[in-house]
């Protein structure tokens, strides 16, 4: 298991090592840890470490008199967190912005959260590879030890593994699987290839009475927190007028909104996330206050052909694009007179294309 103990062993503090420290060899540091040691222990290539330092400012706080880089324990934790975020698909600059915005406590807390998840799971098939401690008892590992053994990277296997974890009510394995999926895919691909199919399968099994609603809740609750983590990690990177994301009145389903928010954040697009069950008048008030260029509305459950929202939109007096998505919307919705346009996004990619501002975006 990974040792994330943030308390370094007193005798192994950087800068206090003996010159013949066997862990560090003959070139024991005068202060802090040299790039080679950090590279070896975190299994991150030294050129990557140097590039993160030069280009993104995530590097050592100290230099020797000869100008060699020396990492403190906090620097190493920052690098470790940076590597986790980039492995989850967060772009390097936004990962760096997030990491540099966190104080020491927040970094330790975040890494501790990962350690919780990397502990041995219950039952077979959830054991995790171990790691060795960094000098000073620092967190470690070759590749981050968060793989569920036996779950291949094939999307079908991952869907089955997620459904298995739902059935077994095993949150640890499920969270590991979600991260496993996002380490190899950006959040958009993760949603389209694995998360949405897993949700549909869970929904079908529930409908057939083969899976309890508690399993459905577990699947969606944990996915929500993983998607929110992607948004959090990108928060400092997003800019501009937010697009509004909401589920229709009385519509409790809102995971597609979270996936969209996470993907938009990755593209630097800000969201005003209003979540599930947004009454029509509240939504229109929010639109008038924030004056976005676009709003995305989700509906899983069937909506009536005529509902107040379409009429309420008549007060909008700027060019607003209303993008609707989900199987609940009836055909033949007509935009009110005026500057509002209504388009239907057939799938996740079409919604992203409609909401990320770039020329030529089209809605399916
Ligand atoms: C998770 C879940 C819940 C969670 C929601 C948690 C949350 N935070 O969202 C909880 C437990 C709260 C819940 C509650 C209910 N649920 Co529910 N739920 C689901 C489940 C498993 C996933 C929902 C989801 O996120 N779907 C999104 C994607 C994965 O699925 P999709 O809509 O089929 O995707 C299609 C397109 O929309 C598109 N697409 C996919 N992703 C995206 C993303 C974007 C942005 C776009 C534009 C398109 C797009 O691709 C697909 C078509 O090829 C679905 C199963 C399902 N098939 O959706 C049931 C499901 C939607 N639920 C269902 C039901 C019946 C309910 C309840 C009424 C149950 C109850 N009796 O209380 C309540 C609803 C209460 C309410 N007023 O809203 C039914 C709806 C049947 C129907 N059409 O009427 C479903 C389909 C399950 C089933 N197979 O019967 N649910």
| Domains, the chain, with CATH or none | 7-126+138-227 (1.10.1240.10), 238-355 (3.40.50.280)
- Measuring from atom 1 of ligand 1, which residue has the nearest CA? 220
Contact 49, 172 (CB under 8 A): no
Does 181 contact ligand 1 (Cβ within 6 A)?
Answer: no
> How many angstroms is it from 259 CA to the middle of ligand 1?
14
Sequential pLDDT tens for the chain (364 residues): 223 333 332 333 333 333 333 333 334 345 678 898 888 888 889 999 999 999 999 998 887 777 788 888 888 889 999 998 888 778 888 888 888 888 887 788 788 766 555 543 322 221 222 222 333 333 222 333 346 555 556 899 899 999 999 999 999 899 989 988 887 888 999 999 999 999 999 999 999 999 999 999 999 999 999 999 888 888 777 888 899 999 999 999 999 999 999 999 988 899 999 999 999 999 999 999 999 999 999 999 999 988 889 999 999 999 999 999 999 999 988 778 889 999 999 999 999 999 998 654 443 3
With 0-12 / 13-18 / 19 or more C-beta atoms within 10 angstroms meaning exposed / middle / buried, residue 7 is exposed
| End-to-end CA, the chain | 47
CB of 252 shorter than 6 A to ligand 1: yes
Pocket test for ligand 1, best of 300, 303, 353 (most atoms within 8 A of CB): 300
Structural tokens at position 256 = 């597609």
Task: Report pTM.
Answer: 0.71
Q: CA–CA separation, 182 vs 161, rounded Å?
A: 15
């Amino acid at each position: 298991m990974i040792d994330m103990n943030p308390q370094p062993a007193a005798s192994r503090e950087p800068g206090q090592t003996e010159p013949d420290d066997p862990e560090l060899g003959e070139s024991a540091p005068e202060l802090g840890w040299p790039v080679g040691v950090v590279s070896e222990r975190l299994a991150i290539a030294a050129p990557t470490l140097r590039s993160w330092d030069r280009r993104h400012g995530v590097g050592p706080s100290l230099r020797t008199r000869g100008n060699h880089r020396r990492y403190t324990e906090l620097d190493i934790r920052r690098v470790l967190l940076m590597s986790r975020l980039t492995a989850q698909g967060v772009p390097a600059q936004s990962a760096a912005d997030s990491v540099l915005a966190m104080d020491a406590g927040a970094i330790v807390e975040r890494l501790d959260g990962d350690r919780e998840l990397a502990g041995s799971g219950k039952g077979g098939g959830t054991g995790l590879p171990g790691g060795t401690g960094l000098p000073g008892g620092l967190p470690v590992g070759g590749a981050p030890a968060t793989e569920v053994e036996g779950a291949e990277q094939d999307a079908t296997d991952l869907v089955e593994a997620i459904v298995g974890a739902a059935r077994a009510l095993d949150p640890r394995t499920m969270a590991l699987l979600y991260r496993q999926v996002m380490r190899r895919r950006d959040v958009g691909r993760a949603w389209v290839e694995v998360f949405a199919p897993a949700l549909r399968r869970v929904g079908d099994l529930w409908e057939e009475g083969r899976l309890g609603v508690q399993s459905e809740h577990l699947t969606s609750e944990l996915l929500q927190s993983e998607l929110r983590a992607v948004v959090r990690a990108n928060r400092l990177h997003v800019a501009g007028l937010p697009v509004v994301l909401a589920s229709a009145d009385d519509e409790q389903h809102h995971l597609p909104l979270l996936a969209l928010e996470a993907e938009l954040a990755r593209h630097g697009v800000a969201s005003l996330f209003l979540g599930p069950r947004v009454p029509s008048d509240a939504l229109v008030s929010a639109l008038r206050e924030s004056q976005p260029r676009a709003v995305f509305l989700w509906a899983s459950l069937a909506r009536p052909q005529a509902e107040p929202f379409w009429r309420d939109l008549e007060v909008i007096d700027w060019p607003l694009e209303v993008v609707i998505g989900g199987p609940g919307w009836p055909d033949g919705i007509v935009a009110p007179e005026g500057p509002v346009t209504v388009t239907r996004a057939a799938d996740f990619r079409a919604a992203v294309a409609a909401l990320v501002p770039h020329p030529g975006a089209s809605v399916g």
